Structure 1
């Protein structure tokens, strides 16, 4: 994960060559001193394209998450705050979004607008925001029933103060299109697009498929491990025998001090 984030953040300075520069005299070459991971079917440096692709993926994923979370959290918290007909209306919109498979929604948007980088970001954002909207609404309903929110209402706190000062921050705290050829368009380097471009050369030069595939697999596994580690850190762990012994000594010392006092 750290390597992926570092490559994505500093890719323009780490790439040894221009990832879009073609040299038809060096197509399909293996690793050399000039091209450490060889070249693709158009003579472009594979290492440079893998590095720049990390930046492309990082920016696109970050943009999708920001847009989807912003729309979803806004609609979910507004529904949880107002309840009544506002809640019913917004949640029915969320239910419609959840009932349609995300891939179908994304393909429909791309079919209407056309393929492209920001079209892919928009399509995935529209496909994913209902999930964050549903979760945010549940969190908002739970927060609005807390005693301190009732106390704020009794004290005359304005709705804007309750929403932006207490409800929204809490909700925010809790809260493969390229492979189909409909996302990022050539010559922009992107791991999924690199797989598509290399598929016709799978038998003659499998390296062109294996390298971006390994990069994509490593990123997916890294995100899964990160998510699992965050979830496991929230589970209380049993204390070791040494820690228990130290705690008992501390408690015995406190008891002795209290008895002497």
Structure 2
């Protein structure tokens, strides 16, 4: 079984399949603990297994490329798109994926980025197949610098040279954060993930930090540079 993303419930079920199954990840290979196969069909639904949430969190954390740097910065809702622009310039990122939660937001964000001199396009399911294919080809060739998309449209998106992911809207949970973050830092390359949030949303970032076991550095963009802020 090969997949870019594997739910933890599937990993659990896989322990009862075949003989001495192996879990192969991008950064390591480890044996799956063998278990006796239960009678009847295998239930892929996560059951009320004590500690399963912790195990799932560990599995998600391990799926994050180790070369990633995680940041968050504060911004008012109305200024988030301009914060994206300042972020792109401060990190001198050439291939950027910007995540938003709602398709209706994408076009407005693209217009604002284009008005500020960035070559940006939107990618979502309402576009025709030819349009999506054309946009992706241009993005992979470097003709588009910023791709503004949503979670669903980016499923399976493989752009090896992407060096920055920006969350304009917070992901719903740690699994979705890991999926977004995994678009960069591939094949051992360095990558950055910047989450733009309002002050009232910082607690969500802290929760993601605890669940994933990675450090989110607070930052701001000043005079074209990323400046790390001291945690309060």
Scaled by the length of structure 1, the TM-score of the pair is 0.25
Higher helix share: 1
Work out which structure has the larger RCO, using CA pairs closer than 8 Å and 6 or more positions apart in sequence.
Answer: 2
Higher strand share: 2
